[in-house]
Amino acid sequence: MKIAFTTSTGEIIDQHFGQCHSFHIWEVGPDDASFLGEVSVGEHGSDEEDRIAARAKVLSDCAIVYTMQIGGPAAAKLVAQKIHPMKTGTEVNLMETVERFQEVLRGNPPPWLRKAMNKGMAPSFMED
């Protein structure tokens, strides 16, 4: 699944969701994780609602966003787009976070995470 991180260095999750200028996007699975690239967020109006909407649009194919801080309205907008916000509260190492996340994936992920893992996958229908 694709996960976005708010990081200024690529090594530490250290940015506020609403104030970061870019997101580092990773593809993370139980056994493999790879950096896909960085997506920039330009200024999209002076209104906070516009800035939040622009960020949500840039992250539309991500299942999760790891960020140091995020406000309630921004978190709600992400959830409405089926993107799960994860707030660290402090600066944390990005690779350690990826590794801990993979451990959870290899175990028994909680229901919200199983649902997030299926984001972007076409629904499967059983045949008669």
Of residues 49 and 26, the one with the higher pLDDT is: 26
Distance CA 94, CA 5 (A): 8
- Cα angle 38-43-49, degrees, rounded to a multiple of 5: 105
**Domain range 2-117, CATH class:** alpha beta
Nearest to 74 by CA among 59, 93, 92: 59
What residues does 23 pair with on adjacent strands?
Answer: 39
Give the pLDDT score at 45. Answer: 58
Report percent pLDDT > 90 for the chain: 66
Q: What is the average pLDDT value for the chain, to the nearest integer?
A: 87
Confidence of residue 52 (pLDDT cuts 50, 70, 90): confident
Distance CA 110, CA 16 (A): 26
The size of the chain, in residues, is: 128
Give the pLDDT score at 44. Answer: 59
Q: Three-state DSSP class for 82? A: coil
Q: What is the pTM of this model?
A: 0.86
